[in-house]
Amino acid sequence: MEENRRVRKRDRYKRLITVGEACVLIAVELVLFGLMWYRDYEVTLTLPFWRRGNWAVIGMYGIIIILFTKLYGGYRVGFFRLLDIVYSQLLALVCANVVGYLQLCIICRDYVNPVPLLKVTGLETIVILIWIFACRFLYAKMYPPRHLLLVYGYKTPIEFIDKINARKDKYVIEDRIHVSEGEQAIKEKILQYDGVIICETKAYIRNELVKYCFEHSIRSYVVPKLSDIIILGAEPIHLFDTPILLSRNQGLTGDDMIIKRIMDVICGFILLVIASPFMLISALAIWLYDRGPVFYKQDRLTLNGKVFKIIKFRSMKMDSEAGGAQLAKKDDDRITPVGKWLRKLHLDELPQLFNVLKGDMSLVGPRPERPEIAELYKKTFPEFDYRLKMKAGLTGYAQVYGKYNTTPRDKVKLDLTYYEQYSIWLDLKLMLLTVKIMFQKETSEGIASNMTTALRDGEKVQIPSPVNVKPEGLDESEDAFYDLGKTVQKTDK
């Protein structure tokens, strides 16, 4: 108990410490850039940039590097893995310096020698690496892994536990308890840990535990149901003295749709021009390998279940689906050597820009699923159709924060989060984050070799316990609402 209080007390200052660490790094980066500017570039400018103009350039560079680093999560030393932090920081540095270089060329109205900026980039890289390791060391000393209690309900959370165990630097599940052991027993256990994870429980149990954690200032991590995510986008209204949350559930407004379409056309055309050399090289490599067709067209689903022909670079052998529709597997022998590289670098998806310009897809939205695969998912999880309330996208929330083999349930949850929190700024953020995930292997990781879809066998496994558990066949989408001790089953649709 005393240790828990000390941890919670230190948590109050975590944000302040994080901001302080970030300020140190930003200050060093600005000093290095400023020295380079005054030594190598100032002399190329005319008098209007004397003094105040120099400070404006350095300040603008600081703003750019802060925005990119914050966007890619480079300051979240205690949240991401070490390699993720290094990758995020270096990617942000490269993006900021590219923008900074273009800024210099515009200011000078001429080609600027990039060598000084490259030297500063090298020095900044060294500083960043030192900063990351120092901050990680400090964070590990001040904030050791949180010891958590897992409260679970009708379904064995084996896969979820595996995900948590993959981050032993941040979380340790010390114990687990089934909801059947009773509310009082669970509450007594909660007080012994730094936090509690509430997973796959009925709504009334979860609500009681969340309120209990709030009363005792204990962290609670809740795996949400679909209805929870739908409420995320609700608007608080005050017609009278009772708070009401309004979920309109009507999708994008008319002005949102117009702005989104304009952005799709403009950005899609710009991206097509930029990507054209890579598309030409990819097409040539595919044709030279087996003299087969370069493009591959396939039926996919978009807004309101409309079927359209998606265009991709062919990454598999020409007879790869003679046995029927199936997702790509790990080490799939249907994928050609050229296709492996195209998939690894996500170059196979570039022709989808034509679908975006045509209007079949948007730049940002749910991943377009095949009708055959979608039907298989719907048999186990009917709410998979919720994704069709949005136009399919080249990138999206589930693509950025999930993986190729993310389960259908989690895909829907991620895509619904995007749907409920939609804004043009979120679209811009997801497009910039796509640059980050393009070179991460796990985002293109296939399903297991013995599977056809991303459905997990564990999704149908029941808890091996002698206590009363949820009957077999009752889907995750169903929840229980309790009134005067009577249970009414209601689907979360």
Amino acid 440: pLDDT: 73
190-210 pLDDT, tens digit each:
999 989 999 988 888 999 999
Give the span between the Cα atoms of 387 and 408, in whole angstroms. Answer: 10
Amino acid 243: pLDDT: 87
Give the span between the Cα atoms of 160 and 180, in whole angstroms. Answer: 20
155, β-bridge pairs: 462
The position carrying tokens 């399903």 is 447
Distances (CA, A) of 383 to 128, 188, 194, 399, 478: 45, 36, 34, 19, 11
Give the span between the Cα atoms of 389 and 398, in whole angstroms. Answer: 15
Q: Which residues of the chain have pLDDT under 50?
A: 444, 446-452, 457-493
Distances (CA, A) of 254 to 109, 195, 415: 41, 43, 20
CATH 3.40.50.2300 correct for 146-246: yes
Sort strands 478-483 and 235-237 into parallel, antiparallel or unpaired.
Answer: unpaired
Domain borders along the chain are 2-142, 146-246, 254-444, 466-491
Name the 3-class secondary structure at 359. coil
Amino acid 4: pLDDT: 57
Amino acid 209: pLDDT: 94
384-400 pLDDT, tens digit each:
999 999 999 999 999 89
Amino acid of residue 365? G
The position carrying tokens 């310009």 is 357
The model carries a pTM of 0.79
Amino acid 9: pLDDT: 63
